[in-house]
Amino acid sequence: MPRFAANLSMLFTELPFMERFAAAADAGFEAVEILFPYEFAAKDTQRAILSNGLQLLLINAPPPNYTGGTPGYAAMPEMADRFQRDMRRVMRYAEVLRPRMIHVMAGYAKGAEAQETFVKNLQFAADLAPDQRFTIEPLNAGDQPGYFLDDYELAVEVLDAVDRPNVGLQYDAYHAQLIHGDAAQVWEKFGPRAVHIQIGAAPGRCEPGTGPVDFTDLFTKIDNSGYSGWVSAEYTPSTVRTEDSLGWKR
């Protein structure tokens, strides 16, 4: 069975942010991820991680514009200068938090120029921090209309063009199911490129156990593939208390 982690931006949200780390540890998780940690002091988040014996697996980048605007813009040509400035800010957070991976969000753009921009920005990030691992993740067009990276074939094409050993694929069962119609088949085809996994049931993005994805079968396929990383629960619980949604894990 895979090693499971908790996404604290979506799980345990019935609690204040800094209390979610202890709740995750109490629920048996040994690792967590945070979508956007930038509104909290990095030292405070680091303290919560360490005091609960957790590992931080992943954060998203670039940081969102809290005054409005897109939460990701790595593929937007008009945002290239800002991307490079903001990725330096991200790396200052990473120096404190030490995430295993940073998910670089493509943003909302289409076409050849957007793809070229995304490739160049990923190369910039990879070269800026060669010891840091980065990921890219296809997101479904229903949830993210206009998002550049909306297909796993496109993701592989981008990765091949980036050609950096510290940039890899992030597989999400929820998005894979909605994009291609069969999360397990997507894993079998693209799993060898994956360096991080996230899960959530489709189409409701709640805990595993509803919808068409057979997670027992998917977890078996992940185990049989030799994948040795973490599988992060990234879903919105259908229960008031997150811990009541964890039956799939037990």
Annotated catalytic residue, options 30, 39, 95, 137: 137
DSSP state at residue 198: E
Residue 157 falls in the annotated catalytic set: no
CB under 8 A, 24+ apart: contacts of 221-224: 221/184, 221/187, 221/188, 221/191, 222/2, 222/187, 222/191, 222/197, 223/1, 223/2
Residue 68 has a CB neighbour count (10 Å cut-off) of 6
Residue 231: beta bridge partners?
4, 197
Residue 188 falls in the annotated catalytic set: no
Cα 32-67-18 angle, rounded to 5 deg: 30
Task: Cite the active site residues.
Answer: 137, 234
